[in-house]
Structure 1
């Protein structure tokens, strides 16, 4: 089956080129860097040891940054190549990558394009983040005897069932990794069922992340604009959640007439769609001139990229997005809010972050609201009771500060494959 896949992808050059053209037309590719998707680059490989880290999109890229910073700190001569497949992840990397680290768009899984990529970059070690597994790429890594690890690995029940149907193929693909470090015990069980070689449950690397960065000048400006107004943020929203935020705002405005609601969409390019759905409210968009909220602003649409830390810092209460969304939800990382002293709220659909949310809720470091009415009531309680709000902020912050050991544990497990580069 894998042989057939390799043959078919080898013959798929016209189709893949058409796919790239289609994605380019839809604004999903960078025209100036489109050849990177074919394994072609204008950047020279740096001298010395090179670790290649692949992170599919924004979420994985945020995880990768924690590992990248640690690797660079431990070896002053090491270079790191990071690949990803989305424009937003590339933008994030351009803003956050340190010296001696560079970004490329990952080539599509065409055998010739992968060979070209590996021939140019000649990585000494390959580290995959989370769950994106490309058969040709992993097979060529194995053929070239490049030590590889899968870090922060996760495998949902749905993905596991799909892979288990083709478990012999899964076993062969996973054999490219010398070690797999999973987010949860259930993930470890899933990978072991697929006959992966060495699987260790470590935890989620995002739990060891430094607090999200923010610009101090921008924070001072935003804080001054907010003043003493009661404020909350709905962070990383998806379709359906912006309308929910507005309904909650209108209800709470009866008791808190100067309430300010900040909405940070997960995908800022949805700004026009969002604005068209918000009616009967005074809305101001931050994009493109870093516009600040006014005294009469109801909804502040924070439709910029890479500023989530700013809004967590400025708001005492955060509802975590994709927990009430129309797509079935799944949740986002609540620790980012907790680290910046927010009281943390979530809706019921948190299956992608279930273990973390369950732990935080058990520690009273986050609150689950099951429906819109509970959401309104909880938010009103926090806005009305300063002592309760400070207590919940403190519990969230303490919980977040206790998670920093995970990157240390990951480095210990990776030591055997990193010994040639560190």
Structure 2
């Protein structure tokens, strides 16, 4: 199967090039950096270089603590981070700590076309490579492994559905693909079991890197301004919502306003470009603040740290509809009491851990949402205790970035010589 994929990807190069141009028109690609998708743009500095590949925003921000740990342990190290989305390319430089500036380089990842991947590797010549979560591109992994570059799969995850599909239809392909990794650090015990059943070797004890991420940043002046506009009103934040959820949340909020007539609901859609379709209300993307009305639409990027700090309750989106949920850990780090729906499959370990620790509440459907939010508003002390429990649970993974950094650096010798398997 890997040979067929290699052949087909090469044949697909013209169509992929056409699709990249089409994505430029939709602001899904950066026209000034489109050549990077074909492996161009290398500017390798001297010395040791570790390549870290993260798919998008969540994964790229999750590896910030890892990069800090790597930098602290190896002052001569440069890190190359590749991602596949415009949003991640724009947000990552904003989130880099001062200590990492100049030591972290960003490029768009080459698509999984053999010639494009070869060009990328020829230019960058990484000493080791870490792929984050489920980024398993066959040609990229084969080419990297074939050059003797040690590979690590970090925060590795695989869903039940994907594992079952691979186990049934392509067990040999899965075993070969996973066998290219010298080191696999699974996100959870469940992920570890699925990966091991598919033939993965070199598994370490599980640990979720997203638990160790720093609190989302905030602009202090913007927070002061937003809190001033809100006044003393109670605030419900619907964070990272998806189509089909906003109407249910607004219906629940309408019920609550019978007892809390000043309630302000902030809708922060997962895809900010949907802001215009969410109703007639002030929109943050237009420079507007909340007015006396019941709704405010926060359709901007990179401001969840602001919104969680301004909220009394956060509903975690993607969980009332069968999307799999969004990251509940951001709210936990910022002391915002949270609630989510039944669909948290994408964050099963995190949501289960938070619930077991008493750090979150879960509803099974929209009908229970208003009653649960009313209880949380009625008992603020209990909600605050829940938020403290969530924060304590999240802090339990504080040593993980250091352990991950040491395992990754162990693949590279002190002068850039690759450790032999």
TM-score (norm 2): 0.93
Q: In 2, are the aligned partners of 1:212 and 1:309 still within 8 Å (CA)? A: yes
Alignment-derived partner of residue 21 in structure 1? 21
Alignment-derived partner of residue 145 in structure 1? 148
Structure 2 distance, partners of 1:214, 1:199, is 37
Alignment-derived partner of residue 290 in structure 2? 293
Relative to structure 2, which stretch is displaced further, 83-92 or 8-17?
8-17
Q: 1:144 to 1:317 in 2, by over 3 A?
A: same
Alignment-derived partner of residue 307 in structure 1? 303
Alignment-derived partner of residue 320 in structure 1? 316
Q: In 1, are the aligned partners of 2:358 and 2:386 still within 8 Å (CA)? A: yes
How far apart are 1:228 and its partner, in Å?
Answer: 0.8
Structure 1 distance, partners of 2:151, 2:47, is 18
Q: Secondary structure at the match of 1:283?
A: coil
1:211 aligns with 2:215: yes
Long gaps (5+) in structure 1: none
Structure 2 distance, partners of 1:162, 1:91, is 35
Q: In 2, are the aligned partners of 1:202 and 1:410 still within 8 Å (CA)? A: no
Structure 1 distance, partners of 2:50, 2:60, is 15
The CA RMSD over aligned residues, in Å, is: 1.7
How far apart are 1:305 and its partner, in Å?
Answer: 0.6
Alignment-derived partner of residue 348 in structure 1? 342
Long gaps (5+) in structure 2: 417-421
Structure 2 distance, partners of 1:122, 1:288, is 44
Q: In 2, are the aligned partners of 1:48 and 1:77 still within 8 Å (CA)? A: yes
Relative to structure 2, which stretch is displaced further, 155-164 or 6-15?
6-15
Q: Secondary structure at the match of 1:401?
A: helix
Q: In 1, are the aligned partners of 2:208 and 2:397 still within 8 Å (CA)? A: no
How far apart are 1:208 and its partner, in Å?
Answer: 0.7
Paired residue for 1:368, among 362, 370, 375?
Answer: 362
Q: In 2, are the aligned partners of 1:202 and 1:409 still within 8 Å (CA)? A: no
Alignment-derived partner of residue 10 in structure 2? 10
Structure 2 distance, partners of 1:255, 1:222, is 24
Q: Secondary structure at the match of 2:397?
A: coil
Structure 1 distance, partners of 2:258, 2:378, is 13
Alignment-derived partner of residue 50 in structure 1? 49
Paired residue for 1:228, among 232, 255, 277?
Answer: 232
Alignment-derived partner of residue 249 in structure 1? 253
Alignment of 1:147-186 (within 5 A): 147-164=150-167, 165-186=169-190
Alignment-derived partner of residue 124 in structure 1? 127
Alignment-derived partner of residue 85 in structure 2? 86
Alignment-derived partner of residue 260 in structure 1? 264
Matched positions, count: 411
Q: Secondary structure at the match of 1:23?
A: helix
Q: In 2, are the aligned partners of 1:232 and 1:315 still within 8 Å (CA)? A: yes
Q: Secondary structure at the match of 2:368?
A: helix
Q: In 2, are the aligned partners of 1:52 and 1:82 still within 8 Å (CA)? A: yes
How far apart are 1:421 and its partner, in Å?
Answer: 6.7
How far apart are 1:201 and its partner, in Å?
Answer: 3.3
Q: In 2, are the aligned partners of 1:316 and 1:341 still within 8 Å (CA)? A: no
Paired residue for 2:282, among 277, 281, 284?
Answer: 284
How far apart are 1:194 and its partner, in Å?
Answer: 1.7
Q: Secondary structure at the match of 1:21?
A: helix
How far apart are 1:419 and its partner, in Å?
Answer: 4.5
Relative to structure 2, which stretch is displaced further, 219-228 or 128-137?
219-228
Structure 2 distance, partners of 1:214, 1:152, is 26
Relative to structure 2, which stretch is displaced further, 231-240 or 404-413?
404-413
Alignment-derived partner of residue 191 in structure 1? 195
How far apart are 1:185 and its partner, in Å?
Answer: 1.4
Alignment-derived partner of residue 65 in structure 1? 64
Paired residue for 1:388, among 362, 382, 390?
Answer: 382
Alignment-derived partner of residue 108 in structure 1? 111
Alignment-derived partner of residue 396 in structure 2? 402
Q: Secondary structure at the match of 1:145?
A: coil
Alignment-derived partner of residue 334 in structure 1? 328
Q: Secondary structure at the match of 1:155?
A: coil
